[in-house]
Amino acid sequence: MKLIDLVFRMNYTLVQGSLDSDISELVYDSRKAVPGCIFICMPGAVTDGHQYIPDVLAKGAAAVVVEHPVEVPEEVTVIEVENARLALAELSAAWFGHPAEKLTTIGVTGTKGKTTTTYMIKGILEKSGLPTGLIGTIEVIIGDKHIHAVNTTPESYLVQQYFAEMVDAGLKYVVMEVSSQALKLDRVSGFTYDYGIFTNLEPDHIGPGEHESMEEYIACKGLLFQRCKIGLANAEADYLEQVMADHTCQLETFGMGENADLRAVNVQRIHQPGYLGVSYDLTGLENYAVRVDIPGDFTVYNSLAAIALCRHLGVSRENVLAALDTIQVKGRLEIYPTPGQYTMMIDYAHNAMSLEALLTNIRAYGPKRIICLFGCGGNRAKSRRYEMGEASSRLADLTVVTSDNPRFEEPMDIINDILTGVAKADGAYVTIPDRKEAIAYCMSIGQAGDIIILAGKGHEDYQEIRGVKYPMDERVLVEEIIQEAKQ
The answer, yes or no, to whether residue 472 has pLDDT greater than 70, is: yes
Across the chain, mean pLDDT equals 94
The answer, yes or no, to whether residue 46 has pLDDT greater than 80, is: no
- What per-residue confidence (pLDDT) applies to 177? 97
- What per-residue confidence (pLDDT) applies to 328? 87
- What per-residue confidence (pLDDT) applies to 273? 85
Task: Compute the average pLDDT of residues 251-261.
Answer: 97
Task: Compute the average pLDDT of residues 222-235.
Answer: 98
pTM given for the model: 0.90
Residue pair 36/22 in contact (Cβ under 8 Å)? The answer is yes
Task: Compute the average pLDDT of residues 306-316.
Answer: 97
CA atoms of 362 and 116, how far apart (whole Å): 17
Task: Compute the average pLDDT of residues 59-68.
Answer: 96
Task: Compute the average pLDDT of residues 199-222.
Answer: 77
The answer, yes or no, to whether residue 210 has pLDDT greater than 70, is: no
- What per-residue confidence (pLDDT) applies to 45? 65
pLDDT, tens digit (0-9, with 9 covering 90-100), for 346-389: 999 999 989 999 999 999 999 999 999 999 999 988 999 999 99
pLDDT, tens digit (0-9, with 9 covering 90-100), for 265-302: 999 999 988 899 999 999 999 999 999 999 988 999 99
The answer, yes or no, to whether residue 205 has pLDDT greater than 80, is: no
Task: Compute the average pLDDT of residues 250-258.
Answer: 97
- What per-residue confidence (pLDDT) applies to 487? 83
Sheet containing 428-431: order of strands: 334-336, 343-347, 451-455, 370-374, 398-401, 428-431
The answer, yes or no, to whether residue 94 has pLDDT greater than 80, is: yes
- The pLDDT confidence band at residue 457, using thresholds 50, 70 and 90, is very high
- What per-residue confidence (pLDDT) applies to 214? 82
- What per-residue confidence (pLDDT) applies to 455? 98
CB atoms within 10 A of CB 440: 19
CA atoms of 138 and 120, how far apart (whole Å): 14
The answer, yes or no, to whether residue 211 has pLDDT greater than 90, is: no
- What per-residue confidence (pLDDT) applies to 202? 81
- What per-residue confidence (pLDDT) applies to 206? 56
